[in-house]
Chains A and B, each alone.
Chain A
Amino acid sequence: MPSAKKTLLINALLVTTLIFSACSSSKTTSSSNSENASEQRNNQPSIAELEEIYWARIDSSKMNFTEADVKFMTGMIGHHAQALIMSGLAPENGASPQVQTLAARIINAQKDEIASMQTWLRDRDQPVPEVHIDGLNLMIHGTGMDHSNHMNMAGMLSQEQLVELSGAKGKEFDRLFLTYMIQHHQGAVTMVKTLISTDGAAQDEQAFRLSTDINVDQITEIERMKLMLSKIESESKD
């Protein structure tokens, strides 16, 4: 092509390139705020690196635990499991709708907490108690604790008391359930207190959180149950 036209074409291309590069750079300088932001992003690790850091930190945060934390989790799993047995009796034993709602809530909450505690132990390479419930019988496998150990925890019902509860119906069941569950919950609160009175315990965030949640929920339930119980007891005096 004629050189004049060629020059024109090259110039046009140059200008076009200049325009495009000018346009793209102007994006990042449009405001100092976004400039800082994009600079920050350029200095930040990539998504893959961020994820690596994240998971590494999560893992290392799990290493900050003590024997007391392990004992708490292990024991509380068995403790919760008994609450499941007690609460499971409510529907068939003709409990009042209120007690049935409460029992359902206890089952849902404590089942999930058992799973959380098992995960906590597993993550820290500790023996994980597996819960097996057969009627009124509670069996804990996998911790090297013998069968009878878990019965000694604060607030736990004896087998006789469990049998007594399972034989009660209607209003009598309500009364016994509330009485025994209050005692059971108070035991859990005691276990939390023991935990936090121990040096180094509950430094681990998950252990603190779980134990605090258990503490708060069960204290709340104790108060509600006391009220329900006193209502029943005042009615039976009439």
Chain B
Amino acid sequence: MKLNKLTKTGVFKSVWIFLFSAALMTYACSSTEPMMDVDYTSPTVNSLSNVDSPTPDPRVGLGAGLFDAEEAIWNLNKLSSTPPPEAFLGVTNSDLAFKGKYAIQGNYNGVLVWDISDPANPVLVKDYLCPASQSDVSVYGDLMFVSGEGLSGRLDCGTEGVQQAVSDERLRGIRIFDISNIEEPEYVANVQTCRGSHTHSVLKDPNDDENVYVYVSGSASVRPEEELPGCSDMSPDDDPNSALFRIEVIKVPLSNPEMSKIVSSPRIFEDLKAPPTHGMSPADAIEIEKARKAGAFIIEFNGQETVVPDRFVAQLMTNALGVEGEPTAADSAALREQLPAIVARMFGGGDGDGEEDDRGGPTQCHDITLYPEIGLAGGACEGYGLLLDISDPANPTRIDAVADSNFSYWHSATFSNDGKKVLFTDEWGGGGQPKCREADPMEWGANAIFTIENGKMKFQEYYKLPAPQTSQENCVAHNGSLIPVPGREIMVQSWYQGGISVFDWTDPNNPVEIAFQDYGPIAADRMANGGSWSVYWYNGAIVSSEIARGLDIFELEATPYITQNEIDAANTVKLDYLNAQGQPKFVWPKTFALSKAYVDQLERNKELDNAAVKMARQSLANAEAANPKVRKKILTELADKMDGMASDNEKVKMLAESVRGLASNQ
């Protein structure tokens, strides 16, 4: 073709056409509605009111064995199972703490340090022989704390025990180690206490960088005065210095741990009067109403409404009203009228409050969970659940106390992340007894969930391991921690030989199990002590200290009850260390996983309609695939839309906030 045929005008035209189309395309690409929607997959999401748990429960009837027991597992992946080193085998594995890539496992023979950077292959980096029961461990900075209360613990870490009832070789209290080289812990100090240390909790005061505080919970017998001066087991009325009715607070100077000492022994149990029983749960109240409508006889007893059982009704008809044969409607009416008077005669009228009584209350706490970020602590103190104010760490004060009308004797506490709920566990039987048999009541040896309103605790519901266990399996509620799924309260908890249970207690009235693992009994013919002592979530790994079998590590499996997005969002929480009794406050960085998790939850709870859910998912997918500038635009628009839809729905607002936060990071 001859160049001169392509006149300037012709070329000009085609250039312009080209430029124009290019401009159009650029405009189209950068517009808020991308030309092409990105593909994405929707997770399957199901409501918690209809959990499809395996039936029959596979935890029933599991074959026995030590390292080869049958196993049932649901919605969890087991990454590894590692037996203890030989010198620690056949000795109880106890509690866990975490620092960096290490899991520190207490054992009645001392402490095991595991490198769990590859959770499928834990590596033992140190086994430190220093017998003590229960070897409850905590870490802070370069220090490790270990509890001892048994009579055979020695100051010199010897294994020969202590044969004298009074001995200066005995350690009952807290051992302190320097773990700046965690593979070679250095025993630097100890603090003796009157009752030893059953467990302990470490509190870092946000206003004090020089010290940490250790709250010591001791429940064993008081030492003789000759062994540790100042220890008295007399009633505080007879001896104000009694070791009963107090907790010990140890102040640890971080740069001079050998100067650690007890600084106060606050009496947080003073003047605990008739414990307010927790009263009826909302579920009980509904039952009472149903019974009332069905014509049952209701009496008020001890300030609480109770249905009178039928056989008592029959007795009352005969004895109190002189009715013979079948009662008539008139008889029933008469009984209803007379009931309060009859009850008053039988049991004494009123609810008997306001009496000054002799010292009533616990003498020690079994375990205290400190949540310094919200200034609260939950004390499980021999029958009382205490709510403590710890804004002054050396001087905790009591805000509220509850006792359980089912006589649960609480042993530990866990707060929800927002501090609005607290869960107490009842370690009925001390952990050495089988309390999950068919005939054992579901209110005993279980968790009790409370809401906290204006500093007052209000009972909601119990949660207990749903699967019955055999008489050969010690089983009861024990240690656990929150899994940081944003927007929900999910806890993973150990139940000794009942295995581990993951449950959602976001709705305090309806705790629901969503995952579990269990072994058959260690021995088929006898109760051998074993099972999970503690199980905690730490940086994506669910780590269980198995009393007999060693260290088990799991991860969550994506299911309709926890989606992969929710798991991913949980795993954006990175902890530098963890002491479960020093509860950390979870904060979620703004990520796509976080936003997607909220969308999944809004779909699950039907708080957003299908169209909105679809729109949100598509926007997020498009945003994720786009360049930062476009991404920001898409996210901002999505946030605006969500804000518009929110009205007073908290979670939609959280979604909007999370999306907006993500946008501002672009």
Contact = CB atoms under 8 A, between A and B. Distances in A.
Interface of A: 31, 33-34, 36-38, 40, 44-45, 47, 50-51, 53-58, 61, 64, 94, 96-98, 101-102, 105, 108-109, 112-113, 116, 119, 170-171, 192-193, 196-203, 205, 208-210, 212-213, 215-217, 219-221, 223-224, 226-227, 230-232, 234-236, 238
A101 B304 CA distance: 15
A227 B349 contact: no
Contacts of A56: 90
A216 B348 contact: no
A114 B434 CA distance: 13
Given A57-B89, A57-B90, A203-B161, A37 B152 contact: no
A197 B66 CA distance: 36
Interface stretch (B255-263, B286-294, B350-358): B350-358
B279 interface: no
23 contacts: A33-B117, A37-B121, A50-B89, A57-B89, A58-B90, A61-B90, A64-B161, A97-B301, A102-B407, A108-B444, A113-B433, A116-B433, A116-B527, A209-B432, A212-B219, A215-B221, A216-B366, A223-B362, A224-B403, A226-B358, A226-B360, A231-B274, A232-B348
B647 interface: no
Nearest to B428: A109
B67 A200 contact: no
Given A34-B121, A213-B432, A170 B347 contact: yes
A217 B123 contact: no
B362 A101 contact: no
Contact of A236 (B120, B348, B444): B348
B164 interface: yes
Q: Nearest 4 A-B pairs (CB), nearest first?
A: A57-B90, A235-B348, A213-B430, A37-B121
Given A215-B221, A236-B348, A53 B90 contact: yes
A9 B357 CA distance: 96
B242 to A, nearest CB: 13
A19 to B, nearest CB: 25
A105 B429 CA distance: 10
Given A33-B118, A98-B302, A230-B357, A112 B433 contact: yes
B397 interface: no
Contacts of B115: 33
A212 B220 contact: yes
B250 interface: no
B372 interface: no
Among A51, A64, A198, A227, the one with the most B-chain Cβ atoms within 10 Å of its Cβ is A227
B517 interface: no
B429 A109 contact: yes
Contacts of B364: 216
Contact of A203 (B162, B273, B366): B162
Nearest to B163: A200
Contacts of B164: 199-200
B553 to A, nearest CB: 12
B521 interface: no
Interface residues of B, number: 76
B21 to A, nearest CB: 52
Contacts of B68: 47
Contacts of A34: 118, 120-121
B509 interface: no
A92 to B, nearest CB: 12
Given A50-B83, A197-B165, A227-B275, 9 more contacts: A57-B89, A61-B91, A96-B302, A119-B526, A171-B346, A192-B221, A196-B151, A219-B382, A235-B349
Contacts of A219: 363, 382
Nearest to A109: B429
A231 B352 contact: yes
A201 B429 CA distance: 22
Given A61-B90, A200-B163, A231-B274, A108 B383 contact: no
A209 B430 contact: yes
A120 to B, nearest CB: 11
Contacts of A232: 348, 352
Contacts of B89: 50, 53-54, 57
Contact of B440 (A108, A226, A235): A108
A171 B348 contact: yes
Nearest to A219: B363
B100 to A, nearest CB: 14
Nearest to A60: B90
B23 to A, nearest CB: 52
Contacts of A57: 89-91
A205 to B, nearest CB: 6
Contacts of B83: 44, 50
Nearest to B164: A199
A209 B94 CA distance: 14
Nearest to B121: A37
Interface in B49-103: 66-68, 83, 85-86, 89-92
B361 interface: yes
B406 interface: yes
A73 to B, nearest CB: 14
B310 to A, nearest CB: 15
Interface string B590-605: 0000000000000000
A62 to B, nearest CB: 11
A73 B468 CA distance: 29
Contacts of B361: 223
Nearest to A233: B355
A38 B440 CA distance: 43
B216 interface: no
Contacts of A40: 123-124
A63 to B, nearest CB: 12
A44 B405 CA distance: 51
A101 B405 contact: yes
B108 interface: yes
B346 A235 contact: no
A220 B409 contact: yes
B621 interface: no
B326 to A, nearest CB: 24
A78 to B, nearest CB: 20
A227 B92 CA distance: 37
Q: Which of B117, B165, B302, B527 has the most CB of A within 10 A?
A: B165
Contacts of B91: 57, 61
A97 B120 CA distance: 52
B224 interface: yes
A54 B526 CA distance: 15
A201 B405 contact: no
